[in-house]
Amino acid sequence: MSNPISILQDQVRAALASDTPLRLRGSGSKDFYGEVPRGSVLDTRGCAGVVDYEPTELVITARCGTRLADLEAVLAERGQMLACEPPHFGPDATVGGCVAAGLSGPRRAAAGSVRDFVLGVKLIDGNAEVMNFGGQVMKNVAGYDVSRLVCGSLGTLGLIAEVSLKVLPLPVEEATLLFRVSEAQALERLNQWGGQPLPISASAFYNGDLGVRLSGAGAAVRAARERLGGESIAPDAARTFWLGVREQTDPFFAGDEPLWRLSVPSIALPLDLPGRQLIEWGGALRWLKSTAPAAQVRDAAIRAGGHATLFRAAAGVGNVPVFNTLDATTMAIHRRLKQALDPKGIFNPGRMYPGL
Partner 1 sequence: MGAIDTVEPGAVERDFSRVDRVALIAELRSILPPAALLVDHEDLKPYECDGLAAYREMPLLVALPDDETQVVAILKACRRLGVPVVARGAGTGLSGGAMPHKFGLLLSLAKFKRIIKVDPVARLAVVQPGVRNLAISEAASPYGLYYAPDPSSQIACTIGGNVAENSGGVHCLKYGLTVHNLLRVRGVTIDGEIVEIGNHALDAPGYDLLALITGSEGMLAVTTEVTVKLVPKPQLAVCLLAAFDDVAKAGNAVADVIAAGIIPAGLEMMDQGATVAVEEYVRAGYPLDAKAILLCEADGTPDEVAEEVERMKAVLGRSGATEMRVSRSEAERLRFWSGRKAAFPAAGRLSPDYYCYDGTVPRKRIAGLLEAIAELEKKYGLRCINVFHAGDGNMHPLILFDANVKGELARVEAFGAEILEMSVALGGTITGEHGVGFEKINQMCTQFRTAEIRAFHRIKAAFDPDGLLNPGKAIPTLNRCAEYGRMHVSGGQVAHPELPRF
Q: Does 153 bind partner 1 (CB under 8 A)?
A: yes
The size of the chain, in residues, is 356
Q: Is 339 helix (H, G, I), strand (E, B) or coil?
A: helix
Choice between 27 and 300, CB closer to partner 1: 300
**Site for partner 1 (CB under 8 A): which residue of 21, 135, 230, 345?**
135
Output the CA torsion 37→41→45→47 (10° steps).
-110
What does the per-residue mask of binding to partner 1 show for 287-326, with x meaning CB under 8 A? Answer: ------------------xxx-x-------------xx-x
CB of residue 238 to partner 1, shortest distance in Å:
21
Interacting span for partner 1 (CB under 8 A) from 31-39, 68-76, 196-204, 310-318: 196-204
**Site for partner 1 (CB under 8 A): which residue of 157, 210, 212, 271?**
157
Choice between 255 and 305, CB closer to partner 1: 305
Q: Is 103 helix (H, G, I), strand (E, B) or coil?
A: coil
**Site for partner 1 (CB under 8 A): which residue of 266, 275, 276, 290?**
266
What does the per-residue mask of binding to partner 1 show for 322-351, with x meaning CB under 8 A? Answer: -xx-xx-xx--xx-xx-xxx----------
From the number of C-beta atoms within 10 Å of its C-beta (0-12, 13-18, 19+), residue 167 rates as: buried
**Residues that contact partner 1, how many (by CB under 8 A):** 84
CB of residue 240 to partner 1, shortest distance in Å:
25
The dihedral region occupied by 110, where left means phi > 0, alpha psi between -120 and 50, and beta the remainder, is alpha
Q: Decide if 180 contacts 208 (C-beta within 8 A).
A: yes
CB of residue 207 to partner 1, shortest distance in Å:
23
DSSP type of residue 65:
T
Q: Does 73 bind partner 1 (CB under 8 A)?
A: no
What does the per-residue mask of binding to partner 1 show for 174-193, with x meaning CB under 8 A? Answer: -----------------xx-
Q: Which residues are registered as beta bridge partners of 52?
A: 61
How big is the CA angle at 180 (ends 178 and 182), to the nearest 5 degrees? 130
CB of residue 246 to partner 1, shortest distance in Å:
16
Q: Does 264 bind partner 1 (CB under 8 A)?
A: yes
CB of residue 3 to partner 1, shortest distance in Å:
17
Q: Does 108 bind partner 1 (CB under 8 A)?
A: yes
Beta pairing class for 168-169 and 200-206: unpaired
Q: Is 122 helix (H, G, I), strand (E, B) or coil?
A: strand
How big is the CA angle at 10 (ends 125 and 61), to the nearest 5 degrees? 60
> How many CA within 13 A on the CB side of residue 305?
8
Binders of partner 1 among residues 75 to 104 (CB under 8 A) are 79-80, 102
Smallest Cα–Cα separation from 266: which of 276, 279, 253?
279
Measured over all CA atoms, what is the biggest interatomic distance in the chain, rounded to whole angstroms? 65
Choice between 18 and 329, CB closer to partner 1: 329
Interacting span for partner 1 (CB under 8 A) from 4-12, 241-249, 277-285, 312-320: 277-285
**Site for partner 1 (CB under 8 A): which residue of 16, 50, 74, 170?**
170
Q: Does 270 bind partner 1 (CB under 8 A)?
A: no
Interacting span for partner 1 (CB under 8 A) from 9-17, 40-48, 164-172, 175-183: 164-172
Q: Which residues are registered as beta bridge partners of 286?
A: 262, 279
| Rounded-to-integer distance, Cα 68 and Cα 84, Å | 13
